[in-house]
Amino acid sequence: MKTYLFLLLFVFQAFSLSSQISLKGYNQEKIDPSLFEGRWKARWISYPGEAPNVYGVYHFRKSFDLEVVPSRFIVHVSADNRYKLYVNGKLVSLGPARGDIYNWSFDTGASDLFIRNARLLHIDLQKVDYLILSHGHSDHTGGLRYFLELNTQATVVCKREIFSPKFKDERENGMKHTQNLDLSRFRFITEQTELLPGVFLFPSIDIINQEDTHFERFWVQQEDGCKIPDTFQDELAMVLVEPEGVSVLSACSHRGITNILRTVRAAFPESPCKLLLGGFHIHNAEKQKYQIIADYLQEYLPRQIGVCHCTGVDKYAFFFKDFGDRAFYSYTGKLIQTDFSE
């Protein structure tokens, strides 16, 4: 009997379709429903000769003339990662927008959009047996209620601290709608747990290197209502253990990806790291933060390093420069194969 895991780990802040397109009149216009399903009848444009799965920043321009200025002009945008749309030099729209299933951005989370992604990728979320939550930020848990409505039998696995109210500066960014959750569907863990044969969860990440932590500007509210700096006691990591090595999956790595790897190494000292996958929370950080991680990875060299989410595409360029083909940028729909037995 197969058991299906679904990781709501790498889900980013969502933007609704109406907020992606900011042209006047867009929200009042009836949108062709066929645009929300299946493939668009449009030609994809890219840089000639560029591989479809590499990162780049490209400038495309389309020039045309209108005899009269219309009161409304509807533009449908499909851009799989980040885009900015200018009209006559004026910024009128930005976001990601749903598009090519080969290279969807992770920036389509915190809502039910991941369900649409799964549907178009032919993944049946109703067959999922376990949903694993990495930590309580809303951009990682915002889709939970939609998943629970769709899937009526899966167990949610996380730490109990995930329900604590969280803030970034003054903005609340913790789990929402907690009062409506059926806690009988939750399994709370406090120690290293083998959820399934070869699938381990690490809810306790010791901080060995304080310099590789990412707590700045984050707060958590205690039961007495006082806010204290958030050290992410709710964070957990996931490890797939196979005879030839381990695969380490993190989300934001607030407690530090090097600290997570040290914890895993202590548990499996003889196992090499086949794959390191996740966000490292160094987007827009000083290069020193990257260097701390890179120096450690040179010592404990994973065969593959998949970065995404809060790592930032700017830091992915550093990883690719230092680690070459070992490093890749992960995206929704990317298939990463292991030898995990069925």
Does any domain span residue 199? yes
Does any domain span residue 77? no
**For a pLDDT cut of 90, what percent of the chain falls above it?**
43
Does any domain span residue 313? yes
Question: Which residue range forms the structural domain that includes residue 195?
Answer: 5-12+104-329
**What is the chain's mean pLDDT, rounded?**
80
Give the Cα separation of 67 and 87 in Å (integer): 16
The pLDDT, as a whole number, for residue 36 is 57
Residue type, 155: T
Which distant-in-sequence residues (6+ apart) come within 8 Å of 54 by Cβ? 329
Higher pLDDT, 146 or 27: 146
Q: What is the pLDDT of residues 317-327, one digit of tens each?
A: 899 999 998 99
Which distant-in-sequence residues (6+ apart) come within 8 Å of 280 by Cβ? 250, 253, 257, 293, 307, 310, 311, 315
Q: Which of 38-47, 87-96, 215-224, 323-332 has the lowest mean pLDDT?
A: 38-47
Q: Which of 15-19, 93-97, 266-270 has the lowest mean pLDDT?
A: 15-19
3-state class (DSSP) for residue 157: strand
Give the Cα separation of 232 and 255 in Å (integer): 7
Does any domain span residue 88? no
pLDDT of 108 strictly over 60: no
Give the Cα separation of 254 and 265 in Å (integer): 18
108-132 burial: b if 16+ Cβ within 10 Å, else e: bbbbbbbbebbebeebebeebbbbb
Q: Which of 8-12, 56-60, 161-165, 191-195 has the lowest mean pLDDT?
A: 8-12
Does any domain span residue 253? yes
Higher pLDDT, 300 or 31: 300
Does any domain span residue 168? yes
Burial of 183 (0-12, 13-18, 19+ CB in 10 A): exposed
The pLDDT, as a whole number, for residue 119 is 85
pTM: 0.69
Backbone torsion region of residue 177, taken as left when φ is above 0, otherwise alpha when ψ lies between -120 and 50, otherwise beta: left
Q: What is the pLDDT of residues 45-54, one digit of tens each?
A: 667 777 655 6
Residue 223 sits in a domain whose CATH number is: 3.60.15.10
Does any domain span residue 338? no
pLDDT of 27 strictly over 60: no
Does any domain span residue 156? yes
Give the Cα separation of 199 and 246 in Å (integer): 10
pLDDT of 212 strictly over 50: yes
How many domains, the chain?
Answer: 1
